[in-house]
Structure 1
Amino acid sequence: DPAALEAELAPGDVAAVIAEPVQGVAGAVALSDPFLAALRELTRRHGALLVFDEVQCGMGRSGSPFVAQACGVTPDLLTTAKGLAGGFPAGALLVGDALAGGLARGDLGSTFGGGPMACALIEATLDAIEDGDLLANVRARGEQIRATCVTGPVTAIGGRGLLAGLRTTRPAKAVQAELLARGFLTGTSGDPHVLRLLPPLVVTEAQVSALAGALAEIPA
């Protein structure tokens, strides 16, 4: 609600607003592009920084490198991890020019930061995404999931790309167990009727078709 957000920001005592463009644990709830644009405008107007948490939805999972690029909204800060190094422990804070100018080399240093293996794996992951044209695959498979997997106990699918929230008529845990018995790993969420689906960026058309077939076998 942009109006409610403006009421919170109007006093001018908010330093930053942190938003997860696709709220993963909540059930793959995607914030709309107009809302994110309004969030950017309001934070600028009231002197607050805008931080995007793309730890779960970034690194190509939305079909773009980051949701910020897909929605055309540039935050002041963006966090990324998880997929950043293909699952190896690594994280990064991306900083816009306006803030980066105030940082001297070493200001954000860490005795656990900049590990050679982590950095090599980050580079390898970026190369794999680009060389394999994986963003195109994410977009295609995301569309396929939404076109074919509203079946059986699934009534709707939210999220973006390959961060999908499958809304179920039955408790998500029950559907999760049925899928596991058929060889499919899925996750639950904070919403007891939303199943989280986060397949790898290399998931194939045949694998998504198999998932749709498995869902169709599960009673609604």
Structure 2
Amino acid sequence: MPRDTLTREQIVRAAVTLLDDEGIEGLSMRRLGARLGSAATAVYWHVRNKDDLVVLASDAVWAEIELPDAGRVGWRAAVTAMAEDAYAMIMRHPWLVPAMSTHVIYGPGKARHDDHALSVYEAAGFAGADAEHAATLVFTFVLGMALGTSAEVAWRTRLRREEDGGEEKVRAVMERVTEIATGFPHLRARTEAWQAAEPDTAAGGELAFGLQAILDGLEARLARLR
């Protein structure tokens, strides 16, 4: 694809797909150019370097989060929906967590999300810095929940690129983790329950429990403020 037919939007969309498949380590201008049917040099006409591309792709995925109307559904339902959507978005793009640890991610997509989040907490009754603190608290919880899962996905992606039996390494590590946990009674009980549950169900239950506990605390704080 010649450089004059490429657009930044096309490049960013292709970068997101490549990052989903290969992770940050697998992103390069050469690989991206190959996916676009273009030379790597053509990509540089639209983005400065790989770091610039990571920032653009990271900001773009924030636009996937729906922004519910707190006036229509209530502030707790709006916060819950945005948090669940943010968690699902990070799970679709597990490279976002490591990207956020090495790059300043901010642009129209992230700003759109943050602005709406503040409006929801303000609608609930939080004012000034309190609205920002509430938004940060919920997002930090969601990010923490996503961190473990996305790190495991990134680890598995890296192993899959190896030629010396990546899947066997994954099984060996998981067996060792289980073996260690069984030596401790409380961990053993939780490990057995975790193995019996569907992974998505277990993660969804933990997310719902944490969100409900945080929102209960925020609602109690609002009651005291009033």
Q: Which has the higher strand share?
A: 1
What is the TM-score of this pair, normalised by structure 1? 0.31
Q: Which has the higher helix share?
A: 2
What is the TM-score of this pair, normalised by structure 2? 0.31
Asked which structure has the greater CA Rg, the reply is 2
